[in-house]
Amino acid sequence: MLSLKLAWRNLIGAGLRTWLNVIVLSISFVVIIWHRGMLDGWHEQARRDTIEWEIGGGQYWQKNYDPYDAFTLVDSHEKLSADIQEGVMSNILTPILISQATIYPQGRIQSVLLKGIDPTQKILNLPAKKLATESYEIPVLMGTRMAESTKLTIGDIVTIRWRDVNGTFDAAEAKIVDLFRTNVPKIDNGQLWIPLDRLRQMMQMPDEATIIVTNPEKKNLPQLSGWTFRDQQYLLSDIDRTIKQKQVGGSIIYIILLFLAMLAIFDTQVLSIFRRQREIGTQIALGMTRGQVIRLFTLEGSMHSILAAAVAAIYGIPLLLLQVKYGITMPENTDEYGMAIAEKIFPVYSLGLVITTTIVIFITATIVSFIPARKISRMKPTDAIRGKIN
């Protein structure tokens, strides 16, 4: 208790040096928590949006389907069994048929993926019901990214050319009936959504599908013959991997900030020991052991982190809470990143994040304070009182 009071008195007595160290360390506190909170918020938001718009509770893939190999789409279709049809009727499953096609917007040529979806499905947030209200022969639902790249908008007519299951080419005009905006580019870029039955008719694939999306509220889904089940963990692995890479990059920022703050504490402790040689020698001569003096200086250094946490809470908590409430606006070119990024990211600051950051900084400050304090163990009280130090 006496050491704590003495350390506090010495710390406050150092004046400006102490508060400069505390301010620098508090900035490290706030920046580390802010950056990790932003990544956690992005991660949570990206996973949630991807589940709601694209993958649901998981997907059944036709055994030949490979989303990274467009050539597999020719053979990636399977007739739905009676059990699957029953699941579709019960809103447990929703089939999607995928095919390659070519469109000719405003005299240009562009390859696209035609995706057929049931307009009555309720598993995905995709506004497919717009397709059921249009009487045009081929109604098309399109994302805003795709609309921007093709220069098409609601009401425009575009020619689509496709090749059916027998290898016969055909073409027809389609009408853009609605545009949707989503944070998930995988269901937007290079894709046109049309009614499932219409695409089946065009491709001459009755009752067939390429993938089957499952309802996220349903668990313990059965294995289906001819289909490979991909769970949420598998389908979200790209997002998880990207966030981990960002966290590794963020760790470099943490290390730099901690290094600057710890360097300031280290220099302060070295200067303090040099200037307080007589005091140290007197304390040892009056009965304090070298270990007690070392603990005193180590305690003084570690108390920087406690003061920094208090200062960081004063200005950091209001600032971080404002970001949680209003979010962080992302630049427009984030649409080109290829993964789900919302217009605003709302950081997530967990209690575990705050506690972990505090413990790491406290331990680091203690270690940095102990290193120069070891020099006290080589001091001779008589030399220290005379102002000499080895």
Tell me, letter by letter, the H, E, C secondary structure of 153-194: CCCCEEEEEEECCCCCEEEEEEEEEEEECCCCHHHCCCEEEE
Query: Which of residues 215, 246, 265 is at a domain's end?
Result: 215
Question: Does the residue 226 lie in any domain?
Answer: no
Question: Does the residue 349 lie in any domain?
Answer: yes
User: Do 45 and 83 fall within a single domain?
Assistant: no
Q: Which of the two residues, 257 and 323, has the higher pLDDT score? A: 323
What pLDDT sits at residue 382?
62
What pLDDT sits at residue 119?
92
Q: What is the pLDDT of residues 78-121, one digit of tens each?
A: 999 988 898 899 889 999 999 999 999 988 899 999 999 999 99
The CA distance from 235 to 216, in Å, is 13
Domain encompassing residue 348: 2-52+238-385
The CA distance from 339 to 49, in Å, is 10
Its sign, for the CA torsion 169, 175, 177, 178, is: positive
DSSP codes joined into one string, 275-298: HTHHHHHHHHHTT--HHHHHHHHH
Question: Does the residue 139 lie in any domain?
Answer: yes
Which letter does DSSP use for residue 103 in this model? E
User: Which positions ≥6 away from 203 have C-beta within 8 Å?
Assistant: 77, 97, 99, 162, 164, 165
Phi then psi for residue 33, to 5 deg, are -65, -40
Query: Which of residues 184, 215, 246 is at a domain's end?
Result: 215
Q: What is the pLDDT of residues 130-174, one digit of tens each?
A: 888 767 789 999 999 899 889 999 999 999 999 999 889 999 999
Question: Does the residue 223 lie in any domain?
Answer: no
The band of 298, judged by pLDDT with boundaries at 50, 70 and 90, is: confident
Question: Does the residue 161 lie in any domain?
Answer: yes
Q: Which of the two residues, 272 and 217, has the higher pLDDT score? A: 217
Q: What is the pLDDT of residues 233-251, one digit of tens each?
A: 999 998 888 888 887 877 7
Question: Does the residue 156 lie in any domain?
Answer: yes
User: Do 243 and 378 fall within a single domain?
Assistant: yes
What pLDDT sits at residue 60?
94
User: Do 12 and 70 fall within a single domain?
Assistant: no
Q: Which of the two residues, 185 and 193, has the higher pLDDT score? A: 193
Average pLDDT of the segment spanning 173-184:
91
The band of 71, judged by pLDDT with boundaries at 50, 70 and 90, is: confident
The CA distance from 11 to 9, in Å, is 5
The band of 285, judged by pLDDT with boundaries at 50, 70 and 90, is: low
Residue 337 has pLDDT above 70, yes or no: no
The CA distance from 244 to 182, in Å, is 23
The CA distance from 139 to 141, in Å, is 7
User: Do 64 and 207 fall within a single domain?
Assistant: yes
Residue 260 has pLDDT above 80, yes or no: no
What pLDDT sits at residue 174?
93
The CA distance from 322 to 320, in Å, is 5
What pLDDT sits at residue 206?
92
Counted domains in the chain: 2
User: Do 46 and 63 fall within a single domain?
Assistant: no
Residue 181 has pLDDT above 80, yes or no: yes
Alpha helices in 54-175 (DSSP H): 82-89, 144-150
Please, what is the average pLDDT of the chain? 83
User: Do 37 and 96 fall within a single domain?
Assistant: no
User: Do 204 and 70 fall within a single domain?
Assistant: yes
Alpha helices in 196-289 (DSSP H): 196-203, 232-235, 237-275, 277-285
Among 10-24, 143-157, 174-188, 313-327, the range scoring the smallest mean pLDDT is 10-24
Question: Does the residue 87 lie in any domain?
Answer: yes
User: Do 143 and 10 fall within a single domain?
Assistant: no
User: Do 128 and 242 fall within a single domain?
Assistant: no
Residue 284 has pLDDT above 70, yes or no: no
Q: State the chain's maximal CA–CA distance in angstroms.
A: 101
What pLDDT sits at residue 276?
66
pTM of the model: 0.79
What pLDDT sits at residue 230?
93
User: Do 309 and 367 fall within a single domain?
Assistant: yes
CB 208 within 8 A of CB 77: yes
Average pLDDT of the segment spanning 219-242:
87
Query: Which of residues 215, 249, 271 is at a domain's end?
Result: 215
Question: Does the residue 276 lie in any domain?
Answer: yes
Residue 11 has pLDDT above 70, yes or no: no
Q: What is the pLDDT of residues 45-70, one digit of tens each?
A: 889 999 999 999 999 999 999 988 88
Average pLDDT of the segment spanning 354-358:
85
User: Do 373 and 264 fall within a single domain?
Assistant: yes
User: Do 67 and 196 fall within a single domain?
Assistant: yes
Share of the chain above pLDDT 70, in %: 83
